[in-house]
Structure 1
Amino acid sequence: MKLSTGTPFAKLRGALPVLLDRKPSHFECDHWDVKDFVRTYPDVQSGHRSKYALAIRWGADADTASSAYSAAAGYARATGGFIFDCQEGAVISLERAIEIADELKHSGPAIEAAVRTVMQRFRRGK
């Protein structure tokens, strides 16, 4: 994955364009106040005392989700931080984030094919 370099990191907000295997993708990001994160998720035990929090979000698209997990892993590795997966309600390892990104990247075509099949059947009324 290759991140866009057109905007300074501290100013990143909203949709962030990336290249995933030379294919355009994106995810949404925003800087969070660490104190707000701690108040919102008081039971999260990361073992880190972070100064910064970067919220990364995505929709139902497998490429977007893969990009988001890859970016989260890269950000955590570069900053010595951690990854809190809101869906899981837990801190996940860098390795797990990379595994999830790879799973999503490889399952994306099968998911898209299944959705196309359902949509075709729906259009035909079957």
Structure 2
Amino acid sequence: MSMEIEILSDLYLKTVSEWQGSIDAIGFPLRLDPTISVEDIGGFIPVRLGETPTGFECYRDDANEVVQSLGLSNSGRAWRFALGLRWKGDLNELQAAWMAAAAYAAATDGVIFDYEEGKIYLPSEAVAQVQRIRRDVPHVEAILREIVMRFTPKE
């Protein structure tokens, strides 16, 4: 199962160092691959979450198409740029994508649309969402371990 969030903004970051600077300013333990060209984004972006290698997919989307498909065209706001971040169900990828999105939205005065929740997040709300995700990860991991133990055949 793949998950997705969309960053909508009127500005775009021209370099990965600008993006990394916003991540650092918020204080997230995320390191983007410095060899990424923001201009050529279109696929998997390797990152480090603390010491853990992970990543997410990132694509430049057509802002008009995104706004139309999400039914946001009546919101009175026409966004110029859209950046879609996609990941599998992995918890590290989830954290990394949300951190990267929150920092990008903060740097560009944009917003994040969460497809699963059908909700728009302002940058400050996205930072709070990252904090909730990080707080809940140990609990989710414990539940997943319990499921594995419960359904693993005993010899």
Which bin holds the TM-score, normalised by the shorter protein? 0.7 to 0.9
Q: How does 1:77-116 map to 2 (within 5 A)?
A: 77-116=106-145
Normalising by structure 2, what TM-score?
A: 0.70
Q: Which moved more, 1:40-49 or 1:8-17?
A: 40-49
Q: Counterpart in 2 of 1:32? A: 61
Inter-partner Cα distance in structure 2 for 1:20 and 1:44: 35
Q: Which amino acid aligns with 2:134?
A: K
Task: Please tell me whether the aligned partners of residues 30 and 56 of structure 1 are also in contact (alpha carbons under 8 angstroms).
Answer: yes
Over the residues paired in the alignment, what is the CA RMSD in angstroms?
Answer: 2.0
Inter-partner Cα distance in structure 2 for 1:46 and 1:75: 21
Q: Which amino acid aligns with 2:56?
A: F
How far off its partner does 1:72 sit?
A: 0.9
Q: Counterpart in 1 of 2:27? A: none
Q: Structure 1 residues 98 and 46 mapped into 2: Cα distance closer, same or farther (>3 Å)? A: farther
Task: Please tell me whether the aligned partners of residues 55 and 93 of structure 2 are also in contact (alpha carbons under 8 angstroms).
Answer: yes
The number of equivalent residue pairs is 125
Q: Counterpart in 2 of 1:60? A: 89
Q: Counterpart in 1 of 2:10? A: none
Structure 2, unpaired ranges of 5+: 1-29
Q: Counterpart in 2 of 1:7? A: 36
**Sequence identity, in percent?**
31
How far off its partner does 1:98 sit?
A: 1.3
Normalising by structure 1, what TM-score?
A: 0.84
Inter-partner Cα distance in structure 1 for 2:80 and 2:105: 12
- Report 1 or 2 for greater relative contact order, CA contacts < 8 Å, sequence distance ≥ 6: 2
1:71 counterpart = 2:103? no
